[in-house]
Structure 1
Amino acid sequence: MEIEQMGKSTSSHEYDGPYFILHHDRLRPGDIILERGYEMHSDIICKNTGSHYSHAMIYVGGTIIEATRDGGVFSRIPNRSAVRAISDFKVLRLAKDPGREITTILCNQARYLVGSQYSVAEAILVKGPVFTRQFRENSRKQFCSRLVAQCYKEAGINLVSDANFCSPADLERSGFLVTVPDMVRPASEQEAAFALEVSPHASHAKNTVRFVEAALVILKNHGIKTVGDSDGEVTVTTLNDITQAVFENRTSPGLDGEMTEAMQASGYLDHIEMDRQQNPFRYDFDLFSARISKNADGNEISERLWGEVNKEAQVLVPRLQSYISGRDNLVWGLKYFEAEFSIYEGLLQALYDRTVIIVEYSVLKKDIPFFSEINELSNAILNEIRKYAPEIAIS
């Protein structure tokens, strides 16, 4: 229920270190990450809820989904966070493995909610009188712990007594969850600097908010407030809702063009090439080789490679699903769908290109057991893309 993230809580100029980061390569889809903030309101939240933690997030494979005041519901990569004490992060996991199907449902729900707006007012109601919440029970706005609890509830798991109004402390005390040990480690100076610097993802979050706000105004001007039929009608809130609204109202004069223009003008499409610009080593064999082997022995190289290939493996399915769905939508001839598909195409192409570099590196040492397994996994990723999106492989 963190009302924070107005700037990263670890960005204070009054603290010089040390810092600690997550063992992000050990995270599993569905893991809940609790974080201690350092702003005044973070202390108030911790005191009022009786917990050391003021923020909650959910890991969905390759990325974290969270609700923040600045960006609403958005994603960021796990190594973009650093804390001041090893206890300031805590990773929670279901005591009993729910299986892939349930995990997929809750992770997909988190992705679906991306673009939802943040509600300070509703976060404050968590510790307020029950009767004050009644008028907001059906709200689709989010705050951090509500996001996590509702994603689990969507998958049939009630972590807390009230998924609509709960705190990080309530999640921490859930009888369904256990603390995962050894998930936080000291950060090197380079890792800490990377985690604390202004992230391109922050600008993408702002662009997304800009687009969502503009899209909601356009839809309102066209008299569109909800999507779905009478049995499942919901207020347009998320990015997915916006796409559905464009489709359901595709014959509305001017809507397609206005929405496409808003998407382009907001900067929302700028993140397609973000990783290529930020991490050029992942797309160049020589740069990749130098980065992976720098100051590392065989075990460290293997661990770094596993981190790279697992990152790709965890996002492969949602990337492919988005690409295929977006490709299918092109038959409707909407400019909005063309712009949206450019995102899915660009992100899947980047995943493919990164994996090709991993294969090229690992094949040189495939006689070493670990490298052979990495080579097999990375080739399996490429084969899946070639099977379902052959045009990506030949572009």
Structure 2
Amino acid sequence: MYSIDLALMKPGDIVFTTETSLTSKTIRNFTGGNYSHVMLCVGYGSCIHADKKGGVHSFNAQRLLVEHPNQIALKRYNPHLSPETSKIIEQYARLKIGTVYSIWEAVKAAPFFKKEWLGHLKVELEKPSSLQFCSRLVAQAYSHAGLKLSATPSSCTPVEIFNSPRLELVENAVIRVPEELVALVNDESKNKIKIHTDTIKRLLESVRKLYGDSIQTLHDLEALAITTEGADDIISDLTIKSGYLELWKIDIKENPWRYSQIEFEKWATDKQNRTEIAQNELGMAQHQLSRHLASLHITRENYKNYPNKTLGQLIALYETLVMLAVKKTELFSHY
């Protein structure tokens, strides 16, 4: 099995994959490319993408496995992205988490449907939509930062992005995954990000049943709680029942070494390896801290104008996430 070398991945990089499934073959036949799916790297082995299983959601690149090396590739924007630009791209993609995936929207991006002779149908096909598919998400995220990967970011294909003259192939990024790690990677019981994705999906679906399909993301819940009478009590109650507010407990339970020096040194016995792990974890914790502090600040400002239960819950959540990120930053700064 093969995957991407996480050590080579940088925020803003784009992963291209393909499969032997009928869906993948259909997409490749319609678009004329070698790859049927794209993912946006946001740092430290984490990607954000859109698929029919979970809509827009995060993905741990460690779990990205393909059978052949030509089924996966990593490309990077040239000239390299500044940290500020990478942050804008990531923020846009994160704001779309929870958005429903649309196969029809993806199909409409195929070259056939862009032909001029389609006339009125072509105009109908180009109407804007809030739904997402993989290449639209990546192209729109870049476009939001003022960078064009496609002339039509809302209606583009994986092959259009792959062939963008602004992207260059990252050499030697595809690596063979040792057999002993394949079973570990395929253990869904340890897939923390999937638990997050499923929880968010259930929460949004429960709200959509009451308020309609215009509710696409978690941020839509905040707006709904502010603008619709009675919605705040309902949304805050559904949020509690979903378990979303306590997802942070999973990592503490499964990886106590991230929060205790004693546990960390017991878990990572080799000193050299311990230092390498600590450096990576420190970078990840600092990244999380910056993101959670920004979310906390925005939510507190909104709460000043709209003091309701939903925003109050989020403030408490972000305060906890900030505290945990600080704890990890302090721990791994010692190594």
Give the structure 2 partner of residue 310 of structure 1: 283
User: For the Cα contact (< 8 Å) 1:81–1:196, is it kept in 2?
Assistant: no
The one-letter code matched in structure 2 to 1:260 is S
User: Percent of aligned pairs with the same residue?
Assistant: 26
Query: How many angstroms does 1:81 deviate by?
Result: 1.9
CA apart distance, 1:301: 4.3
Matched, 1:281 2:240: no
* 2:282/2:333 contact within 8 Å kept: no
**Residue correspondence of structure 1 range 44-55 to structure 2 within 5 A:** 44-55=26-37
Go from structure 1 to structure 2 and tell me whether the alpha carbon gap of 1:37 and 1:264 turns closer, same or farther (over 3 Å shift).
Answer: farther
Letter in 1 for 2:13: D
Is 1:73 aligned with 2:52? Answer: no
Please state if 1:269 is matched with 2:259.
no
Aligned pairs for 1:165-204 (under 5 A) are 165-198=155-188, 199-204=191-196
Question: Which residue matches 1:58?
Answer: 40
Q: Counterparts of 1:151-300 in structure 2 under 5 Å?
A: 151-198=141-188, 199-220=191-212, 236-249=215-228, 252=229, 254-294=230-270, 298=272, 300=273
Quote the offset at 1:122 in angstroms.
Answer: 1.1
For the residues of structure 1 that align with 2:100 and 2:194, how far apart are their CA atoms? 16
Secondary structure class of the residue paired with 2:3: strand
Structure 1 residues 133 and 100: alpha-carbon distance in aligned structure 2, compared to 1, 3 A threshold? farther
Instruction: Decide whether aligned partners of structure 1 residues 122 and 201 sit closer, same or farther in structure 2, where only a CA change above 3 A counts.
Output: same
Q: 1: distance between equivalents of 2:263 and 2:176?
A: 26
Q: Secondary structure at the match of 1:59?
A: strand
Count residues in correspondence: 324
Distance 1:259 1:84 in 2: 43
1:313 and 1:106 map into 2 onto residues whose CA distance is 18
- 1:320 aligned to 272, 288, 293, which one? 293
Alpha-carbon distance in 2 for matches of 1:37, 1:346: 40
Q: 2:4 aligns with which of 17, 22, 41?
A: 22
Give the TM-score, by structure 2 length: 0.87
Match of 1:129 in 2: 113
Flag the 1:307–1:183 CA change in 2: closer, same or farther, 3 A. farther
Q: Structure 1 counterpart of 2:220, which letter?
A: D
2:207–2:215 Cα contact (<8 Å) kept = no
Q: CA deviation at 1:67?
A: 0.6
- The amino acid that maps onto 1:165 is S
Say which SS state the counterpart of residue 117 (structure 1) adopts. Answer: coil
Q: CA RMSD in A?
A: 2.4
Shift of 1:47: 3.7
User: How far apart are residue 173 of structure 1 and its match?
Assistant: 0.6
Partner of 1:9: none
Superposition TM-score, scaled by structure 1 size: 0.75
CA contact (8 A) 2:150 2:156 kept: yes
| Residue-by-residue CA offset, 1:210-258 (whole Å, 9 max, x unaligned) | 21122234335xxxx8xxxxxxxxx543222221232234xx1x22111
1:83 paired residue number: 66
Matched, 1:358 2:332: yes
Q: Which shifted more, 65-74 or 307-316?
A: 307-316
Distance 1:344 1:81 in 2: 29
- Secondary structure at 1:60's aligned position in 2? strand
The 8 Å contact of residues 91 and 183 in structure 1, kept in 2 or not, is answered as yes
Q: Using a 3 Å threshold, how does the CA distance of structure 1 residues 280 and 212 change in structure 2: closer, same or farther?
A: same
Q: CA separation in 1, counterparts of 2:172 and 2:205?
A: 41
Extract structure 1 runs of 4+ deviating beyond 6 A.
Answer: none
User: Residue 330 of structure 1: CA displacement?
Assistant: 4.2
Residue 188 to residue 357, structure 1, CA distance change in 2 (3 Å): farther
**Amino acid in structure 2 at the alignment position of 1:272:** W
Q: Which amino acid aligns with 1:353?
A: K
CA shift, 1:329, in A, is 4.0
SS in 1 for 2:74: strand
Supply the distance in 2 between the matched residues of 1:352 and 1:99 (Cα, whole angstroms).
Answer: 25
Range moving further from structure 2, 68-77 or 338-347: 338-347
Tell me if the contact between 1:32 and 1:92 (Cα under 8 Å) persists in the aligned partners: yes
Q: Secondary structure at the match of 2:43?
A: coil
In structure 2, the CA distance between the partners of 1:283 and 1:86, relative to structure 1 (3 Å rule), is: farther
Match of 1:95 in 2: 78
Question: In structure 2, do the counterparts of structure 1 residues 306 and 190 end up closer, same or farther at CA, with 3 Å as the change threshold?
Answer: farther
Q: How far apart, in 1, do the equivalents of 2:2 and 2:40 lie?
A: 19
Decide whether the 8 Å contact of 1:65 with 1:75 is kept in 2: yes
5+ residue gaps in structure 2? none
Aligned counterpart for 1:334 among listed residues 304, 308, 313:
308
